[in-house]
Amino acid sequence: MERENQFIGQSGAFLDAVERASRAAPMQRPVLVIGERGTGKELIAERLHRLSSRWDEPLVTMNCAALPETLIEAELFGHEAGAFTGATGARAGRFEEADKGTLFLDELGTLSMAAQERLLRAVEYGEVTRIGSSRPVRVDVRIVAATNDDLPALAKSGEFRADLLDRLSFEVITLPPLRVREGDVGVLAEYFGRRMGSELGWEAWPGFASHVSEQLDKYGWPGNVRELRNVVERAVYRWDNWGEPIAHVQFDPFDSPWKPFAPEHRRPIPAPAPQETEQGASAPAAPQLDTIDDLRGAVDAHERAIVEHALGKHRWNQRQTAKALGLSYDQLRHCIKKHGLAENSD
């Protein structure tokens, strides 16, 4: 597994998780790494391997969700020639490949019950048996497993073996999502942005406009660090002038006015028709906002977002922005003043 083993961040929650991985690395015990997608579970697995006494032995990775259930056991434990249709020759499994080293099992929660049973034996007795063979093979492998599932809940419901969970949970490292890593969004954005600028041959790093930095900081980042990297690198590569701060960022790369409509059979079921009043007229849908002030606030926030987005897209050229929005220059100037969008944001 070749990765850029870069741990960028300064928040306490993040540093605590990295420190726990560093302390667990020398131990010859299994480790579970828990976290949402994009939080860096593979980087933690690599750290656990590189800081252990096995650092110069193989680090073998297997994504348990990437293979059909019928092939997972053969991939993990190997097979003999003729063990099943298509097995034209003998093949060592991932356990044998990782002998003396570390085996990283990603998406552990997707393993079938049969594979879990065989994995339990491998962990408990240090031996595996290839499919189609009756002779066990001794292996010395350290297991590091990762998942974004709630394994204790799966064990309680019978979807995951509780005894296997007990064997694998000597240490459990739970990685914090990016939304709770205070201050790390800006640090990571600068790092990814500078690296992308260097890749593009920029002579200097202009940074981000203040409104873009605010947008990055307020976004929820469901894809965590991986999503942040994509968003930042996309914004940098689309920006033509490295002499000016980056003033536009697009979070959803699929967002487009020309986005194709979903096929008829995939469209959501429409909401029920509004009920008729006693007078026979259709009653309007119930408002989502409780007061007029709530409505005005929502309208103002939406207007601000539209204007701010258009200004960033047109690099704060106010005449081009006004034309794009169908406003006069004076109307746009009024909106900028109304919403406090300072001109020095560019």
pLDDT per residue as tens digits for the range 23-33: 999 999 999 99
How far CA 294 is from CA of 283, 285, 335, in Å, comes to 21, 17, 19
The whole-number pLDDT of residue 3 equals: 44
8 A C-beta contact, residue 27 and residue 173: no
The whole-number pLDDT of residue 173 equals: 97
Q: What is the mean pLDDT of residues 202-215?
A: 95
The whole-number pLDDT of residue 69 equals: 78
The whole-number pLDDT of residue 7 equals: 85
Distance CA 332, CA 326 (A): 9
Distance CA 27, CA 102 (A): 12
Write the burial class of residue 275 (CB in 10 Å: 0-12 exposed, 13-18 middle, 19+ buried): exposed
Q: Is the pLDDT of residue 163 over 90?
A: yes
Instruction: Answer with the residue of higher pLDDT: 299 or 342.
Output: 299
Report which of 212, 275, 276 is spatially closest to residue 246, judged by C-alpha positions. 212
Residue 166, SS3? helix
Bridge partners of 62?
A: 105
The whole-number pLDDT of residue 91 equals: 84
- Residue with structure tokens 């406003």? 327
Q: What is the mean pLDDT of residues 181-204?
A: 96
Structure tokens at 21: 């991985």
Q: Is the pLDDT of residue 345 over 70?
A: no
Bridge partners of 33?
A: 146, 173
How far CA 53 is from CA of 45, 49, 94, 211, in Å, comes to 14, 8, 20, 47
Distance CA 189, CA 196 (A): 10
The whole-number pLDDT of residue 182 equals: 94
Report which of 249, 177, 179 is spatially closest to residue 208, judged by C-alpha positions. 249
Distance CA 104, CA 60 (A): 6
Q: Domains in the chain, please, with CATH?
A: 12-176 (3.40.50.300), 181-257 (1.10.8.60), 290-346 (1.10.10.60)
Q: What is the mean pLDDT of residues 137-145?
A: 95
The whole-number pLDDT of residue 277 equals: 43
Q: Is the pLDDT of residue 116 over 70?
A: yes
Q: Is the pLDDT of residue 315 over 80?
A: no
